[in-house]
Structure 1
Amino acid sequence: MRILIVEDDADTNRFVARGLTELGHQIVASGDGRDGLFQATEGGFDALVVDRMLPGLDGLALVKALRATGDTTPVLMLTAIDGIADRVEGLESGADDYLVKPFAFSELAARVMALGRRPAASVAPARLAVGDIVVDLDRRTVLRAGRRVVLQPREFVLLAELMRNAGRIMTRTMLLERVWDFDFDPKTNIVETHLSRLRSKLNAGFDTDPIETVRGAGYMIRGG
């Protein structure tokens, strides 16, 4: 899905953008209501995530203006105000769903997917393929040489991140930032533990390990 995020809080914007990108979505981000409306009217989005309070043009006005053009792109509105009247106002402005801050990313992702859902026949699944490994980002499935590999959610994100960067070394710090959203070192072996589990599942029944440990640098899946 191609998703527009209009959120003026930089941390929230980055958090949502990073999480949705990891799920395989294409993200365009804006921090201003007027710019967000301009981006939205350019078209081509499957869903919008719009903050209620924005500089330049607030979220309600943005959605009303968008709907006035006849644009029916689904909108998930974010708000820090937890009140029935505020939710009703947001929905009446043309928003399709409402989510109160603070929120769990898993809930936001599920709501966005529900808003942007299209008949399966018209949606080409986003896939990553390296060697004999195929990852379907929409269906959250992994195949190796045609054999199903069942992974836990974090293992899946870890494998997808390595495959997106096939042929490039991913450092421990990079993986902490992109897979766990840590901007600090937790001083644990969380990366090594998950990689060990991922390798165990991915390599079961195979003689080769596609994940290479580059001593002193990081980890890599070689392209081709």
Structure 2
Amino acid sequence: MDSLDDGVASRILLIEDDSTIGEVLSSSLRSHAHEVVWERTGAAGLASASATMVDLVLLDLGLPDLDGIEVCRQLRRAQPGCVLVILTARAAEMDVVVGLEAGADDYLVKPVRLAELHARIRAHLRRNEAAATVPAVPIGDLVVDVPRRRVTVAGRDLRLRVKEFDLLARLAAQPDVALSRETLMSDVWDEHWFGSTKTLDVHIAALRRKIGEVAASARACVPEIVTLRGYGYRLELGAPDDSARP
């Protein structure tokens, strides 16, 4: 089944308790030829996620029965390969960070603009399709195998979330090259992204932690993700200058 405008269609799980918002979002998504399962509670959403694989989840954090952050954590365990986007009326940065750390790949602040919603979905789905033609990239003992969506450190598998993988693959595609925050947000999330880039910082922190843990246990030589203050990040092999780190 093709999308009405760009051929990108998917199975989407919408978890939203507000009937008006849910009707608008589900109707708009279906008009773009996506298959939509709309659940109105956290419990129903988790049950649906356990029963059927989906490509993308839209999760409202303000649910009537369960804490949205806990639902986010459980969804990530139930659907490790899907894109998880939180919908939140909580504009405070800390709420967004907590959601991202709980397993979300992206977020949208309510009221959600439909044009932005569809642009984000297209970007997320296309990112997964485009990766198939990129060869595996070895950097020291770190290997980013894009077609297989697999990362290893000295032969040990590194378990990453969807956007953590995409971000590492983008950095690894140009090792030792300084990449701006704007470039990373555009290439990994959305070319029309605007507003806070806290999403990027949270994912960088998670990558550093996960790579570091596996590298330490394997005594492996892995690249560093170096912070370039006021600009962005660079993936480099070897010990960077300490002044580059925050």
CA distance in 2, matches of 1:108, 1:70: 21
Q: Give the whole-Å Cα distance in 1 for the aligned partners of 2:118 and 2:66.
A: 25
| Alignment pair present for 1:84 and 2:100 | no
Contact kept, 8 Å, 2:89 with 2:109, in 1: the verdict is: yes
Contact 1:76 / 1:112 at 8 angstroms: preserved in 2? no
Give 2:40's aligned residue. Answer: 31
**Structure 2 SS opposite 1:62:** helix
Where do 5+ consecutive residues of structure 2 fail to align? 1-9, 133-246
Shift of 1:70: 6.2
Report the AA paired with residue 34 of structure 1. Answer: A
Question: C-alpha separation between the residues in 2 aligned to 1:84 and 1:121?
Answer: 31
What is the aligned partner in structure 2 of residue 119 from structure 1? 129
Verify: 1:41 aligned to 2:50, yes or no.
yes
Cα pair distance change 1:78/1:121, threshold 3 Å: closer
**Which of 94, 97, 110 pairs up with 1:101?**
110
1:153-196 Cα shifts (integer Å, max 9, x gaps): xxxxxxxxxxxxxxxxxxxxxxxxxxxxxxxxxxxxxxxxxxxx
Unaligned runs of 5+ in 1: 123-224
Where 1:8 maps in the other structure, the secondary structure is coil
Query: In structure 2, what is the Cα distance between the partners aligned to 1:72 and 1:95?
Result: 12
Sequence identity (%): 39
Aligned to 1:194: none
Residue in structure 2 matched with residue 53 of structure 1 by the alignment: 62
- 2:22 equivalent to 1:13: yes
1-side partners of 2:71 and 2:50: how far apart?
A: 10
TM-score of the pair, normalised by structure 1: 0.51
In 2, are the aligned partners of 1:6 and 1:31 still within 8 Å (CA)?
Answer: yes
Aligned residues of 2:53 and 2:79 also touching (Cα < 8 A): no
Calculate the TM-score normalised by the size of structure 2. Answer: 0.47
Kindly state the Cα deviation for residue 73 of structure 1 after the two structures are TM-superposed. 1.3
Q: Does the CA-based 8 Å contact 2:57-2:84 persist in structure 1?
A: yes
Residues 7, 54 of structure 1: 8 Å contact kept:
yes
Write out per-residue CA displacement over residues 90-138 of structure 1, whole angstroms, 9 at most, x where no aligned residue.
Answer: 100100101101121010111122223332698xxxxxxxxxxxxxxxx
RMSD of aligned residue pairs (Cα, Å):
1.8
Matches within 5 A, 1:171-210: none
Q: In 2 relative to 1, CA 38–10 (structure 1 residues): closer, same or farther, beyond 3 Å?
A: same
Distance 1:6 1:85 in 2: 22
Q: 1:17 to 1:85 in 2, by over 3 A?
A: same
SS in 2 for 1:119: helix
The one-letter amino acid paired with 1:23 is H
Q: Is the 8 A contact 2:54 2:79 kept in 1?
A: no
As a proportion of its length, which structure holds more helix?
2
One of 62, 77, 84 as aligned partner of 1:68: 77
Q: Deviations over 1:17-76 (max 9, x none)?
A: 000100111111000001101101223211000001112223211121122346231111
2:21 partner SS:
helix
Task: Give the whole-Å Cα distance in 2 for the aligned partners of 1:77 and 1:52.
Answer: 7
Radius of gyration: which is bigger? 1
